[in-house]
Amino acid sequence: MIGLYHPRARGRCRMTKKPDPFTVPFGSILCDWMTTARADDGPFVYRGSPEPFGDLSISPAAHVLHYGSAIFEGLKAHRQVDGSVAIFRLDSHVARMVTSASRLRLPEIDPSLLHQMIVDAVAANADEVPDPPGSLYIRPTLIGTGADIGAAAHPASSALLFVVNSPVGDYFKGGIRPLTLQLETSTPRTVPQFGMVKCGANYAMALGPTLDAMAGNEAIDQVLFATEGDITETGASNFFLADDERIVTRHLDESFLHGVTRDSVIQLARHFGYEVEERSIDPEELVDWSERGEAFLSGTAAGVAPVGTILYSGKTLTIGTGQPGPNTLRLRQALTDAQTGAAPDTFVWRTPVGSQ
C-alpha cells in the first residue's frame, strides 16, 4: 500500500485548478504541495518528501505569536527555455536564511536540509511553474513554536520550518513601467540591529509610511527610505542609480537587507564593464541624476524595475525621460536571461529541478 506522502502517490494526485497568476494579487495562489521539518530541543527532522498543502496547528502560547520569533526567505524558480525548471540563486538564499535564524536565536538550520526541502517542494509543484514572465515564488519560513508565554528572555527551543510555493506574475501592476517613489527621510526603514534579517518586523516598519504615502497620492508605488539623509532601500527592494558607465547603490551594512538580486545586478553590471559604486547616497544627488541618468529597484519579487519619478521635499523629480532607460532595460534583460536559461550559466546561479 502506498502512503499519502509517497512520491508515487503524489504523481496520482491531480493538480487543483487555479487562476492565471497575472490576474490576481502577487502571492495569493498557493501550490498543492509543501515541505515541513520540526525541531524539538534538537536538530530539524524532515520526513524526506513533500506533503499536501494545508493549515498548520500551533499552540496559542507559541513563542512566535508573542515574541516575534519568525524569519523567512523569498526566491524563485523559473521555467527554462527548454521547458525544464531551475531555482535561481538557491545557495545564496539558503545562506541568508541560516544567518537570519542565528541572529534571532532560532534553532540552527542545516543548509543541506533546507536546500533539499526547497528542491523537493519545487519538484512536487513543477507543473505549476508558469512560463516567463511568470515564475514560481518560493517562501521558506521558520517560526518558534514552543508553548511558553513567559519566554520573553529565552529563545525558542522548538520550531517549525516549512516551504510553500506560489505561481506569480508581475509584482508591480502593469508589467514593465516607470515607478513612482516617495522619499522618506525621517522614519527608519528597519528595526535597529536586525536590518539585514528577513523578518516580519522590518516589513511592518515600512508598512505604515508606505500606506500613508499611497493614501495621499495614488500614483505612488513604493516609499524610498533615506533615514538621516542616506538612501538605502524601499520596503521591498534595493535602489540603484545608473548611467552609461556606472551603477551606484548603497554600501552594505546592518541597517538594511542584503539583497540577492542586488548582488546579481552588481555581478552582471561588472561583467558588462560598468563601474560599480557601493557608497552612501545623499538625497540631493537625485536632482543631478534626474537630469542625466536612470534609477531602478531590484528584488526577488520585482526583478529589475525602472523608476520614472521620485517625489522629494515637495519636488517632483522626473528621472531621465521618465521612461525605462536603456541601461536599466539591459540589466533587466540580462537578469531575466540568467534566470530562464536564455543565457549561459556563467555565474552558476541556476539549480535544475526535476518533477516528481
Give the tens place of pLDDT for each residue, 136-174.
999 999 999 999 998 888 888 899 999 999 999 988 877
With beta carbons less than 8 A apart as the criterion, state whether 28 and 165 touch. Answer: no
Q: Distance of CA 16 to CAs 19, 31, 33, 92, 185, Å?
A: 10, 8, 11, 31, 46
Q: In whole angstroms, give the CA distance from residue 279 to residue 304.
A: 20
3-state secondary structure string across the chain: CCCCCCHHHHHHCCCCCCCCHHHCCCCCCCCCEEEEEEEECCCCEECCCCEECCCCCCCCCEHHHHHCCEEECCEEEEECCCCCEEEECHHHHHHHHHHHHHHCCCCCCCHHHHHHHHHHHHHHCHHHCCCCCCEEEEEEEEEECCECCCCCCCCCCEEEEEEEEEEECCCCCCCCCCEEEEEECCCCCCCCCCCCCCCHHHHHHHHHHHHHHHHHCCCCCEEEECHHHCCCEECCCEEEEECCCEEEECCCCCCCCCCHHHHHHHHHHHHHCCEEEECCCCCCHHHHHHHHCEEEEEECCCEEEEEEEEEECCEEEECCCCCCCHHHHHHHHHHHHHHHCCCCCCCCCEEEECCC
Instruction: CATH 3.20.10.10 in the chain: give the residue spans.
Output: 179-340
| Residue 193 or residue 33, greater confidence | 33
For residue 154, the model assigns a pLDDT of: 85
6 pLDDT higher than 70: no
Rounded to the nearest integer, the mean pLDDT of the chain is 91
> Candidates 3.80.30.20, 3.50.50.60, 1.20.1260.10, 3.30.470.10; correct CATH number of 7-168?
3.30.470.10
The reply to whether omega before 133 is within 30° of 0 (cis) is yes
Give the tens place of pLDDT for each residue, 76-123.
999 999 999 999 999 999 999 999 999 999 999 999 999 999 999 999
For residue 10, the model assigns a pLDDT of: 43
Q: Where does 179-340 sit in CATH, by number?
A: 3.20.10.10
Could you tell me the pLDDT band of residue 4, with boundaries at 50, 70 and 90? very low
- End-to-end Cα spacing for the chain: 19
| Residue 276 or residue 154, greater confidence | 276
266 pLDDT higher than 60: yes
Residue 311 C-alpha cell reads as: 517625489
Pairing mode, strands 303-312 and 179-184: parallel
- The pTM score is 0.93
Could you tell me the pLDDT band of residue 227, with boundaries at 50, 70 and 90? confident
Give residue for cell 490576474.
Answer: 23
Q: In whole angstroms, give the CA distance from residue 311 to residue 220.
A: 9
Instruction: CATH 3.30.470.10 in the chain: give the residue spans.
Output: 7-168
Could you tell me the pLDDT band of residue 14, with boundaries at 50, 70 and 90? low
Residue 291 C-alpha cell reads as: 537630469
8 pLDDT higher than 50: no
Pairing mode, strands 350-353 and 85-88: antiparallel
Q: Which of 100, 102, 180 is nearest to 140 (CA)?
A: 100
Cβ count near 39 (within 10 Å)? 21
